Amino acid sequence: MNKYHVAGLAAAIAAAFGAGVLAQPPAAPPAARPPAPQATGEIAPVPANLTPNRIAGAGINVADLQAELHWYTTVLGMHQVGQYPATGTPIEYILSMSPKEDDHAIMTIIRGARQPGAVTYGRVIMNVPDSKALAAFLMTHGVTARPVAAGAWFITDPEGNNVEIFTPPAA
């Protein structure tokens, strides 16, 4: 854009909105927000009646909600126990290992933007009766599994989310 275009644009703005628009100084930028304090662990203890009593579940952002629902329910045997919104096109599904027991960990898969590959949350860890046997079974069905520690194997869902299948050592 050359100086003649700028002058023409300025004239058009002045004609449309009045010459005062061009003469006003630019608005001040919004005040900077102070940085959030970092959690140091040096705070007052949380009152006993407010402390968390268990982890309710994990949430994973996925690009293809229907494909991921199919994978988790068919490959890992999870059950869909809810969706949000309750009616209409879902944007998330709520999954459970045992839909009849309220205290079983729940996982939510959420349609949302995400980068391909493993996500930064780490992994979902699932206790299983025999992780080595489950890994062997899944590998015969095309799922890549790799051992990472005694009783622990890593697999990934079709979008690259990490899932650890784990059998605790015998006591």
Residues 16-64 have pLDDT tens digits of 444 444 444 555 666 666 665 565 656 677 678 877 776 778 888 898 9
CATH for 74:
3.10.180.10
Burial call 43-67: b when 16+ CB within 10 Å, e when fewer: eeeeeeeeeeeeeeebbbbbeebee
Report yes or no on 103 lying in a domain. Answer: yes
Report yes or no on 36 lying in a domain. Answer: no
Domain that holds residue 88: 54-166
Task: With cut-offs at 50, 70 and 90, classify the pLDDT of residue 168.
Answer: confident
Tell me how many domains the chain contains.
Answer: 1
Report yes or no on 145 lying in a domain. Answer: yes
Cis bond before residue 85 (omega within 30° of 0): yes
Q: pLDDT tens digits, residue range 64-112?
A: 999 999 999 999 999 998 899 989 899 999 999 887 876 676 888 988 8
Report yes or no on 75 lying in a domain. Answer: yes
**Mean pLDDT over all residues of the chain?**
77
Report yes or no on 23 lying in a domain. Answer: no
d(CA 136, CA 144): 10
Report yes or no on 142 lying in a domain. Answer: yes
Report yes or no on 31 lying in a domain. Answer: no
Q: How many CB atoms lie within 10 A of CB 71?
A: 19
Q: pLDDT tens digits, residue range 135-157?
A: 999 999 889 999 999 999 999 88
How does strand 124-127 pair with strand 79-84?
Answer: unpaired
- What Rg do the C-alpha atoms of the chain give, in angstroms? 27
Which of residues 31 and 161 earns the better pLDDT score? 161
Report yes or no on 26 lying in a domain. Answer: no
